[in-house]
C-alpha cells in the first residue's frame, strides 16, 4: 500500500488559516491502514483546527468526511454537492488523491494533509517499511523475492557493493543491505548461481525516467 505520514499540524494551520469554511477529507484506502489519513486522523486534524481557530478568536467552520477512495472518480464525485459549502479542502489522501480532487474541483484549493512516503508494508503496529519503488518492470523472480531497487540504497542491479558490512548498509547501520538479504535468501532457495549471471543494466524507461506513466488495460475499458 501507499504509506504516508500526517503533516505537522502547524503546517496544516499555515495553509488553511486564510479560509473560513474548511473540509478535512480523509480517504478509506491505504492512508487509513497506515493510520495517516483515514476518518480517524481526519477527525483529529479537524478537532485540532477547530481548537486552534476558536482560540485565536477566528470564526472558522471545520468539518470532516472520509471517501471510500480519493483515487477513483465515482467516490470523488460524491463531494460535488457538499463542496459548495466550503472554501478549501484538506485532503488526507496520498498525493494521488490530493491531485485527483484538485482536478475534479478546479475552483477549490485542495491542500495536502499528509506527506506521501512510499509503497510499503506494515512491519509492526505503528511501523511501516518500504518494499517497492514502482519501477514498472518487476525483477523479483530473479532476486529471491527481495527487491534491489527498493531495498538497496544504490538501487544496484548487481550487488552487494563494497559498502555492505555485516549485513548492513553503509548509508546507515540501521538499514539492512538489500543485496545481503538477496544473497541469504537465494542461498536458502539453492539459487546462488544467480550471482554467476549478472543482470544487464536496467531499462529505467518503465520507471520515472520515461516521464509520468500510464497503464492501459484494454479489456477493462468500456
Partner 1 sequence: MNYPTNVKIVKLPCSGRVDVIHLMKAIEEGADGVFVAGCLEGDCHYQVGNLRAKKRVAYVRGLLEKIGIGGERVAMYNLSAGQGPRFAEIAREMTEKIRKLGPSPLRGAGNQPSPGPKTEVAA
Q: Which stretch binds partner 1 (CB under 8 A): 20-28, 44-52, 73-81, 107-115?
A: 44-52
Instruction: Give residues with Cβ within 8 angstroms of 82, minimum separation 6.
Output: 23, 65
Q: Is 96 in the site for partner 1 (CB under 8 A)?
A: no
Q: Which stretch binds partner 1 (CB under 8 A): 9-17, 76-84, 94-102, 105-113?
A: 9-17
Query: Could you tell me the CA-to-CA distances from 26 to 12, 40, 78, 125, 174 in Å, in that order?
Result: 14, 8, 13, 20, 33
Q: Is 44 in the site for partner 1 (CB under 8 A)?
A: yes
SS3 content of the chain, % helix, strand, coil (to 5): 35, 25, 40
* Of residues 9 and 161, the one with the C-beta less far from partner 1: 9
Q: Residue 37 has what DSSP assignment?
A: S
C-alpha cell at 208: 520515472
Range 194-213, binding partner 1 (CB under 8 A): none
Q: Is 17 in the site for partner 1 (CB under 8 A)?
A: no
* Of residues 13 and 132, the one with the C-beta less far from partner 1: 13
In 3D, which of 144, 160, 140 has the Cα closest to residue 152? 160
Rounded Cα distance between 182 and 186, Å, is 6
Q: Is 10 in the site for partner 1 (CB under 8 A)?
A: yes
Q: Is 20 in the site for partner 1 (CB under 8 A)?
A: no
Instruction: Give residues with Cβ within 8 angstroms of 163, minimum separation 6.
Output: 169, 170, 171
* Of residues 126 and 212, the one with the C-beta less far from partner 1: 126
96 within 8 A of 69, measured Cβ to Cβ: no
Q: Is 48 in the site for partner 1 (CB under 8 A)?
A: yes
* Of residues 13 and 156, the one with the C-beta less far from partner 1: 13
Q: Is 13 in the site for partner 1 (CB under 8 A)?
A: yes
Binding residues for partner 1, rule: CB under 8 A, are 8-10, 13, 40, 43-44, 47-48, 50-52, 54-57
Amino acid at each position: 500500500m501507499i504509506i504516508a505520514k500526517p503533516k505537522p499540524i502547524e503546517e496544516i494551520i499555515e495553509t488553511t488559516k486564510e479560509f473560513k469554511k474548511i473540509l478535512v477529507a480523509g480517504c478509506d484506502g491505504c492512508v487509513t491502514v497506515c493510520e495517516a489519513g483515514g476518518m480517524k486522523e481526519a477527525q483529529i486534524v479537524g478537532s485540532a483546527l477547530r481548537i486552534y481557530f476558536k482560540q485565536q478568536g477566528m470564526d472558522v467552520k471545520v468539518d470532516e468526511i472520509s471517501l471510500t477512495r480519493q483515487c477513483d472518480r465515482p467516490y470523488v464525485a460524491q463531494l460535488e454537492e457538499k463542496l459548495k459549502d466550503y472554501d478549501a479542502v484538506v485532503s488526507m489522501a496520498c498525493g494521488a488523491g490530493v491531485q485527483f480532487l484538485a482536478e475534479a474541483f478546479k475552483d477549490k484549493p485542495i491542500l495536502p494533509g499528509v506527506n506521501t512516503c512510499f509503497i510499503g508494508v506494515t512491519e509492526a503496529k505503528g511501523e511501516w517499511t518500504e518494499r517497492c519503488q514502482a519501477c514498472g518492470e518487476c525483477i523479483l523472480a530473479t532476486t529471491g523475492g527481495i527487491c534491489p531497487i527498493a531495498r538497496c540504497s544504490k538501487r544496484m542491479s548487481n550487488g552487494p557493493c563494497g559498502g555492505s558490512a555485516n549485513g548492513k548498509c553503509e548509508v546507515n547501520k540501521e538499514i539492512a543491505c538489500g543485496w545481503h538479504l538477496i544473497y541469504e535468501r537465494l542461498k536458502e532457495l539453492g539459487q546462488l548461481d544467480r550471482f554467476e549471471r549478472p543482470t544487464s543494466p536496467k531499462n529505467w524507461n518503465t520507471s520515472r525516467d520515461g516521464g509520468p506513466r500510464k497503464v492501459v488495460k484494454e479489456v477493462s475499458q468500456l
